Amino acid sequence: MEIFQVVFSENFRKSFQKLYPSNVKNLAINVLLKLASGWRPKNINVDWKCESSSYIVKQIKVSKYYVVCSIDLVKDPVYVQIFKVWDILPMKETAKLLKRLDSIFAMYTDDFIDRCNEKLCEGYAN
């Protein structure tokens, strides 16, 4: 089983604190633990492809919210894939976040995106 390092954005931290009802936090934690262990939803279209690049963002439903996340890279000392959790929002608010993320990902190089999209063992890229 592959384990990803999980990195949470400040937006996610703020949104997570506001989740209601409280059992939604437990549902979100369970989904995040499964995602970190390499699980991906089957037969559900969770991928959103950016307009400005080939970067892929995942939106996973948790109760009435969506966890918005992606595979990203950090250099440690070689490139390592991480699981970046951008936010958890109601569906009506995800479009604005996705548009903002699209402008960020437009600055990523094709090589960087290719490394993010590689299926790796132990999370390491060459």
Q: Which residues contact 100 (CB under 8 A, 6 or more apart)?
A: none
Predicted pLDDT at 37: 83
Q: Where in the chain are the domains?
A: 5-117
Amino acid at 99: K
* 5-117 homologous superfamily: RelE-like (3.30.2310.20)
Per-residue model confidence (pLDDT) at position 104: 85
**Mean pLDDT along residues 112-118:** 82
Output the pTM of the full model.
0.81
CA atoms within 13 A on the CB side of 90: 5
For position 123, what pLDDT does the model report? 42
- The span from the CA of 74 to the CA of 59, in Å, is 22
The pLDDT tens digits of the residues spanning 53-91 come to 667 788 899 999 999 998 888 887 888 888 899 999 998
- Residue 115's pLDDT is 84
27-47: average pLDDT: 80
Rg of the Cα atoms in the chain: 14
Q: How many CB atoms lie within 10 A of CB 19?
A: 18
